[in-house]
Amino acid sequence: MSLTGFTRTRVTPDHALLTPDTFVRSSLPGWSQAACIVHISPEMGARFMMYTVEMQSGSTGQMSLLDIQRFAYVLEGEVALEVGGARHTLWANNYVYLPANTPHHFAAASGCRMVVFDKPYQALAGMDVPQVVLGHEPDTPSSPLMGDEALQVRLLLPDNFSFDMAVNTMTFAPGAHLSLVETHVMEHGLLFLQGGGVYRLGDHWYTVQAGDVIWMASYCPQWFGALGKTPSKYLIYKDVNRHSLELLS
Ligand code: UGY
Ligand code: MN
């Protein structure tokens, strides 16, 4: 309960910091008996949706829209997934990429939390569409960002032109920071998984910590420095691999 009306949440035209004290639960088509916290959406100015789904025994989920691809990452608990005639069980740090127009069905037998990214798929002429990808984040190889061993990146999706979205984790050793104030055409949706520090977004510097969500619009200047004595880690979405002028045609 907020007795003071204070929150770290900020929403601006080119970025948003959304902290758990301000999360509001609602329903989304396709998700049954599940609470959805929509963090990032076109209403905000984004070209994708990012939301947390809180499931319990009896909760289910499927895709109710055409041409929308989905990436789901399990944060807590366990969920069953049926796709392509196969049944999988996903636990914490398991993730799945579901190409557009791929029928699938999530079902929870107990409590489960997932973060989901839904994005319209933009096909590329002459390029095969992506296949389903299943993975476990800790088993994905990591590599230093721009040679900095203190900042490790894991690419959760294949790095090729059939994909128009990327989802990565970035792990910062205490004191590590982005080497530049990045300013780029890609937009981001980010969930802080552990630790915290200071995030520069536009001309503002924010303290951030595990559980926080950030939206960065295209060209929003961005920088992060990790504080504390344990590593900081976030999950980060971006749109990739497409020519902007194709979007206008
Ligand atoms: O991939 C990225 O653009 C990433 N380095 N951005 C970020 O961490 N804000
Ligand atoms: Mn970036």
pLDDT tens digits for range 171-200? 999 999 999 999 999 999 999 999 999 999
What atom in ligand 1 is closest to the CA of residue 186?
Answer: 3
Does 140-248 match 23-137 at the fold level? yes
What SS3 class is residue 74?
strand
Q: What is the pLDDT of residues 196-238, one digit of tens each?
A: 999 999 999 999 999 999 999 999 999 999 999 999 999 999 9
Which residues, 6+ apart, have CB-to-CB distance to 41 below 8 Å? 49, 50, 51
- Whose CA is closest to 106, among 49, 63, 157, 48? 63
What is the per-residue pLDDT for 247?
A: 67
Other beta carbons within 10 Å of 20 = 15
Distance between CA atoms of 9 and 203, rounded to whole angstroms? 16
Q: What would the pLDDT profile of 117-149 be if each residue is shown by its tens digit?
A: 999 999 999 899 999 999 999 999 999 999 999
Q: What is the model's pLDDT at position 2?
A: 83
With 80 as the cut, is the pLDDT of residue 249 above it? no
Q: Which residues line ligand 1 (CB under 6 A)?
A: 170, 178, 182, 188, 222, 236, 238
Q: What is the mean pLDDT of residues 38-51?
A: 98
Span from the CA of 198 to the centroid of ligand 2 (angstroms): 15
Minimal-distance CA residue to ligand 1 atom 9: 222
Q: Are the C-beta atoms of 118 and 48 separated by less than 8 Å?
A: yes
From 222, 223, 234, give the residue whose CB has the most ligand 1 atoms within 8 Å, as the site to mutate.
Answer: 222
Residue 1 has pLDDT above 80, yes or no: no
Tokens of 233: 């880690």
| pLDDT value for 246 | 83
Provide the pLDDT for residue 193.
98
For the domain covering 140-248, report its CATH number: 2.60.120.10
Q: Which ligand lies nearest to the CA atom of residue 190 in the structure?
A: 1
Question: Domain 23-137, what architecture?
Answer: Sandwich (2.60)
Instruction: Map out the domains of the chain as residue ranges.
Output: 23-137, 140-248
State the DSSP string of 168-193.
EEEEE-TT-B-SS-B--SS-EEEEEE
More confident: 28 or 249: 28
CA–centroid distance, 14 to ligand 1, in Å, is 15
- What is the overall mean pLDDT for the chain? 97
| 220: three-class secondary structure by DSSP | coil
Q: What is the pLDDT of residue 9?
A: 98
Closest atom of ligand 1 to CA, residue 166 = 1
> What pLDDT does residue 3 have?
87
CB neighbour list of residue 218: distance below 8 Å, 6 or more residues apart: 184, 185, 186, 187
- CA atoms lying within 13 Å on the CB side of residue 154: 17
Read off the pLDDT band of 248 (50, 70, 90): low
